[in-house]
Each structure stands twice: as C-alpha cells, then as structure tokens.
Amino acid sequence: MEAKKTPSADLTRKSGMFLNLGLAVAVGATLAAFEWKSFDDGSLKDLGQVTDNFEELLDIPITEQPPPPPPPPIEQPIIQEIPDEVEIEEKIEVNFDVDVKEKTVIKEIVIAEAPVEEKADAIFDVVETQPEPPGGMSAWNKYLSDNLKYPTQARRMGTEGTVIVVFVVNTDGSIQDVDVLRGIGGGCDEEAVKVVKNAPKWTPGKQRGRPVRTRMRLPIRFKLS
C-alpha cells in the first residue's frame, strides 16, 4: 500500500530556494571575512615631546699609554789578558868538522822528448815522402800503355773515361788491397785493377825518415783511338 503525501508537505518543491539561500549566506560570510579589519588599541607615543638632543657629540678622551720600559742592560764580557807563552830557546850545535875527500859533481840532466812510436800496421794517407813507381811517373805511364788492354765490351759499347784505383803500398814496396774508387764499367774497372796488381814494386813512402804503409789513389784513363 503506497504512502500518500499532501502537496503542502512535499519539501522537494522548495529545494531550489533553500539552495540559493545557502549560497547567498556562504558568499556573504566569505566577503565579510575578507573585509574585516582589526586595529591595535595601544596608545601612540608622541616623539615630538622627547627632550634629548641627539646632535650633541660626546667628547671621548684620548687614552694615553705609558712608554714601554727600557730593555735590560747587556753584560759585556770581561776580557782577561793572557801573558805570552815563554819562548824556549834551543841551542843546536852544528859540527862542520867533516872530512870531505871526494867532490860531488852534479851532472846536468837533459830530458829528451820520447820518440813517437808508429805502429807497423798503420796506413797513412799523407806522408812526408810519397811513394813512387820505379823510374818515376814517366816509367809508370809507359808500363800502363804496354800492359793495359782495352776491354772488348767497352770498345763495342764505346765506353770511355777515367777509372780511379786505390791501393796500399807496403813498407817493402809491394802493392795490396787494390780496389776501384770510381769506375766506368764495360770491363774497364777489372782491367785497371789487374794492371795495378801486376805492377812492379814501388818505392815506399816515408814518415820521419822511416818507410810506412801508404794509401795511394791513381787515375787510369781509357780512350778509344
């Protein structure tokens, strides 16, 4: 059985009014809280009645400090005079009664310079007396013209030039260590070395009058006639 209400007892009809009324009250309370002002009830002091004069300056007396006390006196060391030591005189007796029968003769000592030792195996590039072929250079040139043969390969290729040969002349005049310092090829280098190796003994070079081993350099020219 459904409950029936009278229209006058139905509160839902006035819900909108109550909502608007509540919002209005809340907004009013909020505005009142923001606009509320409070003041301090304390009495204000009148600074105009102060009789103190802040412009007056206070005179501060200058503080005087007493001077520092003088340093204590430094005691000077006492210098005592020490008497000189007593000199002891010693008597030395010299007996000149010596029987000298022989006269001592002091010979003058002459210190000679030590001779410069030259090693036998040393090879000199420059000496006081240069080695020479037997009969001089004219005989050497004749020896080359008689024994030097123009290689066939060099003749076919038309090779000409000067071969520089280096060798060592020993103390007995023999020749060794023959080599080519500058060659031209075509078999001319080998021919020049062979001719020098087969050459007769030379006169050895001398240094301080003694024969020494000397290194020589000689040019051998190849030219087509």
Q: pLDDT of 73-125, one tens digit each? A: 777 777 766 665 555 455 545 454 545 455 556 666 666 655 555 565 789 99
| Backbone torsions φ then ψ of 152, nearest 5 degrees | -65, -40
Q: What is the pLDDT of residue 73?
A: 76
Residue 30: is its pLDDT beyond 70? yes
| Backbone torsions φ then ψ of 48, nearest 5 degrees | -70, -20
For residue 63, the SS3 value is coil
For residue 214, the SS3 value is strand
What structural domains and CATH numbers belong to the chain? 123-222 (3.30.1150)
b/e per residue 112-150 (b: at least 16 CB within 10 A): eeeeeeeeeeeeeeebeeebbbeeeeeebeebbeeebeb
Q: What is the pLDDT of residue 18?
A: 78
Cα distances (Å, whole numbers) of residue 213 to 52, 125, 207: 127, 9, 9
Beta bridge partners of 176: 168
Q: What is the pTM of this model?
A: 0.47
Q: Are 199 and 218 in contact (CB under 8 A)?
A: no
Percent of the chain, pLDDT > 70?
Answer: 64
Beta bridge partners of 211: 206
